[in-house]
Structure 1
């Protein structure tokens, strides 16, 4: 049975996630930040986060940090100087933060970049507890 990942997020993390979502892509100004699209899931006791980052050099363009249970991917996608008639590519700085599951072993995180996708694997402690039934008593009298 696959364990359920329960993440507690702060309202500020939820707001940041909303600002980085596709919903904000059509708005002008500071809300229209370069987007880092992600997916996450649990695979056999490991939290997996995949981020779409095409066109970057992971050795030079990306920094991954963990601070107080929050994993942050940040970097910059550089624009080549070429004459173009049209481009929908996004260039410049990007950042995306995700709250890790409570039982993550952050010292064992691994990262791999393949085909424009950065995949991070975060081992989790496998502490499964059986449900416990609590008996209700009534005082005499």
Structure 2
């Protein structure tokens, strides 16, 4: 019996040598990886007895860049921004455009009070507080043991 070692870095390298290396060099390039990870901001969602907290990391934006809306039970957070930069030199003109847009949507639980949502944007983080309805808050009471 012959043991064959598996190297996950070089899949099918015996069949198509160099084939995977080409794709890894192109798709692993920072140009593509930066575009894939930067397209949607990261979100943290937490819950307490009183409310739900949503924190969306979006550095470099202003609070005017955000659009937050609720339609039925869907909370949508979106942003669209475009920048233009130009520099002129001797005989040529160079322009660079930068567009970025994202939309994140969340289904609100029935226990969330959509009429009392509060949002703030500080230090690159959009923080939203979704209070719970009074009947949904956890009620605790002491039970006497007899």
TM range (shorter): 0.5 to 0.7
Q: Which residue of the partner structure matches residue 77 of structure 1?
A: 81
Q: Deviations over 1:29-84 (max 9, x none)?
A: xx88821210100134110000011111112x11000111111001113335268x
What is the TM-score when the length of structure 1 is the normalising length?
0.58
CA distance in 1, matches of 2:131, 2:70: 14
Q: Which residue of the partner structure matches residue 117 of structure 2?
A: 109
Q: Which residue of the partner structure matches residue 53 of structure 2?
A: 48
Deviation at 1:118, TM superposition (A): 0.1
Q: Which residue of the partner structure matches residue 67 of structure 1?
A: 71
Q: Which has the higher strand share?
A: 2
CA distance in 2, matches of 1:91, 1:38: 21
Aligned CA-pair RMSD: 2.8
Q: Which residue of the partner structure matches residue 20 of structure 1?
A: none
Q: Any unmatched runs of 5+ in structure 1?
A: 1-24, 84-89, 131-141
What is the TM-score when the length of structure 2 is the normalising length?
0.56
| Structure 1 residue ranges, 4+ long, deviating more than 6 angstroms after superposition | none
- Pairing 1:96–2:108 present: no
CA distance in 2, matches of 1:80, 1:44: 46
Instruction: Give aligned pairs, total.
Output: 96
Structure 1 or 2, whichever has the larger Rg, is 2
Distance 1:40 1:75, change over 3 A: same
Deviation at 1:98, TM superposition (A): 0.9
CA distance in 1, matches of 2:53, 2:66: 18
CA distance in 2, matches of 1:80, 1:125: 45
- Kindly indicate whether the alpha-carbon contact (under 8 Å) linking 1:33 and 1:94 is maintained by their aligned counterparts in 2: no
Q: Any unmatched runs of 5+ in structure 2?
A: 1-31, 88-97, 141-146
